[in-house]
Amino acid sequence: MAEYKDYYKILGVGKTASDAEIKKAFKTQARKCHPDMHPENEKAKWTEKFKDLNEAYTVLSDKQKRTIYDQVGQEGYQNYARGGASSGARSSSRTSGFSGNPYQNYQQYTYSGNGSQGFDFSGEGLGGFSDFFQSIFGGMGGMSNGFGQNFGRTSASGQMAGDVEAELTLNLEDAHRGGNMQMTLPNGRTVTVKLPAGVSEGKKIKLKGMGNPTQRGTGDLYLIVKIRPHAQFRLEGDDLYVPVVIMPWTAALGGTIYVPTLDGPIQVKVPANTHNGKKLKLSGKGLSSKGNLYVTLTIDVPRTLTREQKDLFSKLAQLG
């Protein structure tokens, strides 16, 4: 059985943390833990830390998953890991109406992936969900198929019987690019899902005949797009926001800087006499071609100055 993971500790928040506090903690930690922020020889270590951070946010930012995680609890999970011999594990099984694996009915029908590796139910495509995560929410760690008895959530209002919904969790880059992505269904069938470029949060993608069987035929599967928070960009609708640091002389004299976009860095001109906090708008550079990229410029001073640079700043101070 996988070792219990304390997602609250990983994010650095208390168990009563609000959604806003959890989101803020994730963004703060993501900047520190992102592998690209560390030397090449340390990337492997920080990649694992970032995976844990990403997994913790995946659970605690989702009300249903967070409730399930809290209900399982560390003691209950460890009791089950020891074979369910304690009264705590037996109580969990009784109160929830489970038999055998007390977490089987917690498991959900969730897709995740990064496109390049295909879509599956293990989370391997998107940072690699741990065995602990899978033992509660997925089909690994000796569990059953991991999707409960109803093959997903029940149909929403206005949908036919047999229709089901499932979350399709995407990286921001994959949502931007779109394209054909392979997905393996719980029954083992592999299907290709065509994602439009710039697909937005909450978008529904219909897979005809992939839902639950009924007397009148098989229902449809509706994939609801969910986009994970990004360590660098902030997403609002189709618009993206990114901070960029510039040097004082660039702000004063103007110049050209490189700005990150979802399609790679591009050169952008900074006007002379730019003040701290100025925003630049890059049209069509958002999540989709309809969105924009807003660049917030922050003026920074080098941590170390040469003697010549110090002399120049001293002269500026005298003139100022």
Q: Structural domain of residue 157, as residue ranges? A: 107-229
Listed range (40-54, 104-118, 240-254, 279-293) with the worst mean pLDDT: 104-118
Predicted TM-score (pTM) of this structure: 0.53
pLDDT value, residue 80: 64
Q: Residue 35: which CATH number? A: 1.10.287.110
Same domain, 163 and 246: no
Q: Residue 138: which CATH number? A: 2.60.260.20
Instruction: Report strand pairing: 266-270 vs 255-259.
Output: antiparallel
pLDDT value, residue 128: 54
Asked whether residue 158 carries a pLDDT value surpassing 60, the answer given is: no
Asked whether residue 106 carries a pLDDT value surpassing 80, the answer given is: no
Domain limit, last residue, from 195, 229, 263: 229
Residue 97 lies in a domain: no
Domain limit, last residue, from 47, 72, 97: 72
Helix (H) and strand (E) counts in the chain: 10, 15
Residue 140 lies in a domain: yes
**Phi, psi (5° rounding) for residue 27?**
-60, -40
Structure confidence by residue, pLDDT tens digits, 76-93:
777 766 654 333 333 333
Position of tokens 């609000």?
Answer: 18
H or E element at residue 298: strand 292-299
Same domain, 239 and 225: no
Same domain, 223 and 113: yes
Residue 87 lies in a domain: no
The distance in angstroms from the start CA to the end CA of the chain is 67
Give the count of domains, the chain: 3
Same domain, 113 and 219: yes
User: Quick count: other Cβ atoms within 10 Å of Cβ 212?
Assistant: 18
Name the CA dihedral angle for 301, 304, 308, 309, rounded to a multiple of 10 degrees: 0
User: Quick count: other Cβ atoms within 10 Å of Cβ 125?
Assistant: 25
Listed range (46-50, 185-189, 281-285, 298-302) with the worst mean pLDDT: 185-189
Q: Edge to edge, what strands does the sheet with 119-120 contain?
A: 190-195, 179-184, 119-120, 110-113, 164-170, 221-227, 204-207
pLDDT value, residue 192: 82
Residue 273 lies in a domain: yes
Same domain, 121 and 222: yes
Same domain, 202 and 112: yes
| Mean pLDDT along residues 221-239 | 90
| Mean pLDDT along residues 156-176 | 76
| Mean pLDDT along residues 239-265 | 92
The closest of 123, 193, 171 to 287, measured between CA atoms, is 171
| Mean pLDDT along residues 10-31 | 90
User: How does 41-56 read in b/e, with b if 16+ C-beta sit within 10 Å?
Assistant: eeeeebbebbbbbbbb
Whole-number Å distance between alpha carbons of 116 and 179: 10
pLDDT value, residue 124: 33
Average pLDDT over the chain reads 75
Residue 134 lies in a domain: yes
Asked whether residue 156 carries a pLDDT value surpassing 60, the answer given is: no
Residue 118 lies in a domain: yes
Collect all residues with Cβ–Cβ distance below 8 Å to 212 and sequence separation of at least 6.
Answer: 150, 151, 152, 162, 163, 164, 218, 219
